[in-house]
Amino acid sequence: MTSETSDDSVPPERDVATDTPEAHAGHVPSGRIWSVGFFGLLITQFFGAFLDNLFRWFAVSVAQQKLDAGLTLALGGLALTVPYVLLTPTAGWLADRFPKRNVIVSCKLLEFAITLLAVISLATGSVWLMFAVVGLLGAQSALFGPSKFGSIAEILPTSLLARGNGTMQMVSMTAIILGGIAGYGLYDYLTPQLGSPKNVELFVVGGTMLLIAILGTGGSLCIPRAPAADPTRTTELNPVPNLLKAIRALTADPRLFRTALGIAFFFFLGALSQSNLDQFGPQTYGISKTETGFLLGTLILGVGIGSVLAGLWSDGKVELGIVPLGAIGIIVSSLSVWLSGVMFNPDLPTQEQFAYYFGIASLFLLGCSAGLFDVPLESYLQFRSDVRNRGTVLAGNYFLSYTMIIVSCGFVYLLLTVLQVKPMTVFLIAGLMTIPVTMYLIYLLPDLTFRFVLWLFSHSFYKLKVSGRENVPEHGGALIVANHVSWMDGILMMVSTSRLARFIIFADFTEMWGLRTLGRIMNVIPIRASDGPRSILKALQTAKESVQNGEVVVIFAEGQLTRTGQMQPFNRGMLKIVDGTGAPIIPAYIHGLWGSIFSFRGGMFFGKWPRQWKSPVSIRFGEPLYNVKEAGQVRRVVEELGAEEMEMSSREQLIPVRKFIRNAKRFGNVPRVADSAGIKLSGRRLLLASLAMRRVLLRKVVQPGEQNIGVLLPPSVGGAIANMSLALMGKTTVNLNYTLSDDVLNVCIHKAGITHVLTSRKFIEKKPFAVEGAELVFLEDLKEQITSLDKAISAVQGVVCPTVLLERMLGLHRIGRDDTLTIVFTSGSTGEPKGVVLSHRNVGANLEAIDSLLQLTEVDGILGVLPFFHSFGFTACMWLPMCYAVRGVYHFNPLDARIVGRLVQEHKLTILMATPTFLKMYMKRCDQEQFKSLDLVVVGAEKMPVDLAEEFKEKFGITPSEGYGTTELSPVAAVNIPDHRSDNLFQQGTKLGTVGRPLPGVLAKVVSPDTGEDLGFSKEGLLLIKGPNVMMGYLNEPEKTAEVMRDGWYVTGDFASIEPDGFVTITGRQSRFSKIGGEMVPHIKIEEELCRLCTGGDDCDDDDGLIRLAVTAVPDASRGERLVVLHRELPCSVGDLIKRFAETGVPKLWIPSADSFIQVEEIPILGTGKLDLRALKEAALTQTGTAS
């Protein structure tokens, strides 16, 4: 039992810098729970407890030939216990004065002499000598008891103390069970006669004890060596001074003393129940000694199970909240054992009565409850006691505990022999005695008790994993700052550390029915928003005072639950809490709750079914932050923690093709994909078609060892089936860019080692391709080769076969998450296309993040006009409908605005993915009614003019959301999402002119292009991205991969700035800067300003929707480079444009000369709508005559 809980079960006077084993003994506990050292300690304990109990119950059974049963029980208990009382102080001195391993080994060697005395006692028939042997065994165990338990804290770190103690208790209880059963069994087997034993009886008893002693001693030799805690301590042989010193050390700290009293009560009840069972079995149930031994085994097995549960439920911390639960369990189970005796009918066979089995179950529950009661107390005693006198404190605890065992021996004798109380009534008395103890515990520990109840509740619904708990200081003030995802955040944060934290929450919640008492118990800090800034300042001041007083405060710095799935800006007020206190900020990230019934995903709280029972949830605590000046700094660290957590979780997610199978079966009868050719397939038909195509490809096309398969198809249902069939085979798909020239396309085929390319005759007729080194395989031919058997087998696999079995049949379980899913060749806008290798985890993590942000449902439909060779088309347009609830509708030509509008209207699509160039065409050729169903329009690949966004919203009522990504990022790295607006709440998701915030799990930072220094917020620099979506590398080009990868960060080549609220603004591309006269001159900014001067807006396209002008550079002898502007016909003269440009105040280096303006028929663009920088450069070199 412990005292007031405002201290979080940790003494404020202790200094974490000095109160450690390292500081005092030079020893760092670093063992694992199953290390050799700890295993050796467990072996030592097991065989020691086994031997003690074997001979104890053997001696009690033999002695009952001459003495009263109640007296023998009392004598057996006293003989084993009195040495603990007398020798405990000396044992504590030994544990502090000498290395604990030496004490344990020396004591174990004494067992050999004790074994000889045991044989002599049996040969002479002396009952008293037998009990003396029991006493010697107790003395030997007592002498190394403090060393044994003190060694746990020397072997295991604090985070494993509860588990270590639980395991030690489980081993002890198992040994006691088996020892008791062996003692009874040995007696029933030998039935020795006192004074006239047979030689074989002496041999069996002596041999058994000797073997056990050898095994126990061997285990002790495996315990690791550690220095003595206090080697200068003077010799103290007189136990009385040591005893008084141990008691003083224990009572000096009220918390330690109350804890020791709780442990002593456990030992009292344990000894009482154990002794009482010897008579309870025969008198209540009419069973034999051996059967009674099994009852004893059931009780002690329960203690062991309860001890292990306490260790597991402590979850890496010392959890005193379990103790009241254990006490309540003791009351209920003790009364149940008594009730089983009342219900038992002695006239009926024992094994046929419910009461008998009810009694056994109650004994097991009694043991479990006792284990839950004891282990947290034992762990707390070890944790709180000073390492320098831990042995003395444990000795004092032993003295109290074994004194209570002696009291219980007398109590048993009084009840059973003197008062003739029935054994079953003894259990009733034990239960009633526990009631005031339980009430006192709840009085002392209301917050810890309630916190553990919440722990049980939360762990019933979530599989919680906590990492970085060691970053939360064990004492002293601290502020924990976490993201805010759901209504469960506070509960999960509460149960994730051993510290009792004060939460800052809105007062409206604390005044709700049922929560007022909770708020008072947990000592929350309320903020009443309706009272204005004064209430907020008062709450922050209260929080600051709490931190100064050594308490932990938790704040969700966003100030509100996220409605969008994105982390909102952090409020600066949190910095006032730690300002001037010297206390750290502990960043924390909660992962896995977005999408739960307690989150706002789907536009509502609570109105959702749980995704799964015991959903995985994780909380990661970061390293302490000191002297923080900006709230954005903390937000960024929390983002980093989130990225680390999502990186870990991405390694456990299903790969996309396995999600495809589940998704297709989930939406078996629901339309999943369609295209402009009129093909529509449900989830089941899509899966069956893919499985059938897989069979034909394996039989007719794919050769053994062939891994990379080319696909030359436009966005269509057929293209999706081709990709899915290859994924179901575990093959790597390479969707080829059909807008490239034949020569470049063949280079890609050669680079990827492709020997087969899947395509269609109809497509090749429209886009002839002279393939080299590979064979074209036409889908029309493959379709004709699908047999009835193929269809039947595919139907069985897709409809009848369970998903898990189907995956194993297809070999999908053998595909690693880091195996290659696809190779996507870059657009080649800056040079020869590079093969970007994307793994299953890369694409899967990107899909998960997109789904998380867009909150997709089966109502949603996406228009896939971006080609599958484009990474965005591959991931977002093709794989997203394959793996999630959204439908996919495809059209091969993104420039065909009329059909795009028809498909959106016909299929009631809600999501459109496009580029700004395509969007301009849709604005001109699609009417408002056609786009009426759209909820979200996402654009990328090029910068979106603000004017375009505003014009699109004006016509269609929806603001396009600009995103950012590259092929190397699978591809999405950041995106704007719709704002959330309600009556009194606004959360910004879109900021025009930016590319939005990074996706969940993705980190972004800007660095100096010259030094690599992190530039922080609001400064322009080179953009770097990190996350599970970052590519595996460039195909067979390790040097180029190394050029763009820095410690896991991908160097995008783009310049950007990042605001404290997380929004990223792209300011230019590294390849689109020129170094002129030592200065960096941005092409994009010059383009934007020239377009604005030409058109009066920032749209750089002419009336035909074509790009009006583009800036590049050519070599220059004097300045290194000079700017060149390629343009179509301008609405004003070049001279006038240059004059107006100069008048804007731009640097002179930014102003191209008049002869650098070159009119061309068309600005070169790629098939994806992006500017073809390579062709642009070549055109400028040719026109200026600077080509080499």
- What strands, in cross-sheet order, belong to the sheet with 1109-1116? 1109-1116, 1120-1127, 1157-1159
31-75 tens-digit pLDDT: 566 778 888 888 888 988 888 888 877 877 777 777 776 677 777
Strands (E), 811-897: 820-825, 835-839, 861-864, 887-890
pLDDT at 525 over 90: no
**Are 279 and 402 in the same domain?**
yes
Please give the pLDDT value at position 13.
33
Judge contact between 897 and 924, C-beta under 8 A.
yes
**Are 818 and 866 in the same domain?**
yes
Burial class of residue 1123, CB neighbours in 10 A (0-12, 13-18, 19+)? buried
Among residues of the chain, what percentage have pLDDT more than 70? Answer: 88
pLDDT category of residue 679 using cuts at 50, 70 and 90: very high
Cis peptide before 971 (omega within 30 of 0): yes
Token pair for 430: 């034990």
**Are 1128 and 1166 in the same domain?**
yes
Rg (CA), the chain: 38
Any domain includes 1031? no
**Are 235 and 356 in the same domain?**
yes
Q: What is the mean pLDDT of residues 89-105?
A: 81
pLDDT at 8 over 90: no
Judge contact between 624 and 575, C-beta under 8 A.
no
Any domain includes 1006? no
Q: What size, in residues, is the chain? A: 1188
pLDDT at 865 over 80: yes
Q: What is the rounded distance in angstroms from the CA atom of residue 297 to the CA atom of residue 317?
A: 29
Any domain includes 1005? no
Burial class of residue 442, CB neighbours in 10 A (0-12, 13-18, 19+)? middle
Nearest-CA neighbor of 174 among 37, 277, 50? Answer: 50
**Are 553 and 664 in the same domain?**
no
CB atoms within 10 A of CB 386: 16
Q: Is 440 helix (H, G, I), strand (E, B) or coil?
A: helix
Q: What is the rounded distance in angstroms from the CA atom of residue 696 to the CA atom of residue 675?
A: 23
Judge contact between 946 and 939, C-beta under 8 A.
no
Q: 166: domain CATH number?
A: 1.20.1250.20
Please give the pLDDT value at position 725.
96
1054 beta partners: 1069
pLDDT at 335 over 60: yes
Q: 910: domain CATH number?
A: 3.40.50.12780
Q: What is the mean pLDDT of residues 330-347?
A: 90
Judge contact between 943 and 915, C-beta under 8 A.
no
Any domain includes 316? yes
Q: Which long-range contacts (CB under 8 A, 24 or more apart) does 783-789 make?
A: 785/696, 785/699, 785/700, 786/692, 786/693, 786/695, 786/696
**Are 440 and 462 in the same domain?**
no
What's the number of domains the chain is made of? 4
Question: DSSP letters along 591-653, please?
Answer: ES-TTSTTB-TTSSSS-S--SSTTEEEEEEE---B-S---HHHHHHHHHHHHHHHHHHHHTTS
Question: DSSP letters along 1011-1053, please?
Answer: T--B--SS--EEEEEESTTS-SEETT-HHHHHHHEETTEEEEE
- Given 929, 963, 998, which residue is the final one in a domain? 998
Q: Which residue has the higher pLDDT, 644 or 123?
A: 644
**Are 242 and 100 in the same domain?**
yes
- Given 978, 998, 1018, which residue is the final one in a domain? 998
- Given 392, 425, 444, which residue is the final one in a domain? 444
Any domain includes 1025? no
387-401 tens-digit pLDDT: 667 767 777 787 788
Q: What is the mean pLDDT of residues 1028-1053?
A: 92
**Residue that is written with structure tokens 């069939």 in the block:** 725
pLDDT category of residue 27 using cuts at 50, 70 and 90: very low
Nearest-CA neighbor of 176 among 264, 74, 52? Answer: 52
598-622 tens-digit pLDDT: 777 765 565 556 666 777 888 899 9
Q: Which residue has the higher pLDDT, 1069 or 702?
A: 702
Please give the pLDDT value at position 201.
66
Q: What is the rounded distance in angstroms from the CA atom of residue 607 to the CA atom of residue 597?
A: 7
Please give the pLDDT value at position 26.
42
Any domain includes 1028? no
553-585 tens-digit pLDDT: 888 888 777 887 788 888 888 888 888 888 899
Q: What is the rounded distance in angstroms from the CA atom of residue 1084 to the CA atom of residue 700?
A: 51
1065 beta partners: 1057
Q: What is the mean pLDDT of residues 695-707?
A: 92
pLDDT category of residue 1042 using cuts at 50, 70 and 90: very high
Q: Lowest mean pLDDT: which of 431-440, 492-501, 584-593, 668-677?
A: 492-501
Q: Lowest mean pLDDT: which of 513-527, 1108-1122, 1168-1182?
A: 513-527
**Residue that is written with structure tokens 């047999």 in the block:** 787
Among residues of the chain, what percentage have pLDDT more than 90? Answer: 26
pLDDT at 198 over 70: no
Q: pTM, whole model, 2 decimals?
A: 0.70
Please give the pLDDT value at position 1100.
62
Judge contact between 710 and 754, C-beta under 8 A.
yes
pLDDT at 1141 over 50: yes
**Residue that is written with structure tokens 């081709």 in the block:** 722
Any domain includes 1040? no
Please state, rounded to an integer, the average pLDDT across all residues of the chain: 82
Please give the pLDDT value at position 6.
34
Helix (H) or strand (E) holding 146: helix 127-155
* Domain ranges, residue 290: 33-444
**Are 392 and 476 in the same domain?**
no
Q: Lowest mean pLDDT: which of 140-154, 207-221, 956-970?
A: 140-154
**Are 128 and 264 in the same domain?**
yes
Please give the pLDDT value at position 163.
75
Please give the pLDDT value at position 1169.
64
**Residue that is written with structure tokens 């308490």 in the block:** 551
893-933 tens-digit pLDDT: 888 889 999 999 999 999 998 888 788 888 888 898 899 99
pLDDT at 1132 over 80: yes
Q: What is the mean pLDDT of residues 427-456?
A: 80
**Are 453 and 439 in the same domain?**
no
Any domain includes 13? no
Please give the pLDDT value at position 809.
93
Q: What is the rounded distance in angstroms from the CA atom of residue 583 to the CA atom of residue 63?
A: 65
Write the CA distances from 601 to 200, 243, 462, 977, integer angstroms. 76, 63, 18, 14
Q: 1141: domain CATH number?
A: 3.30.300.30
Q: What is the rounded distance in angstroms from the CA atom of residue 1048 to the CA atom of residue 985?
A: 38
**Are 374 and 481 in the same domain?**
no
**Are 569 and 424 in the same domain?**
no
pLDDT at 369 over 50: yes
Q: Lowest mean pLDDT: which of 193-197, 649-653, 841-845?
A: 193-197
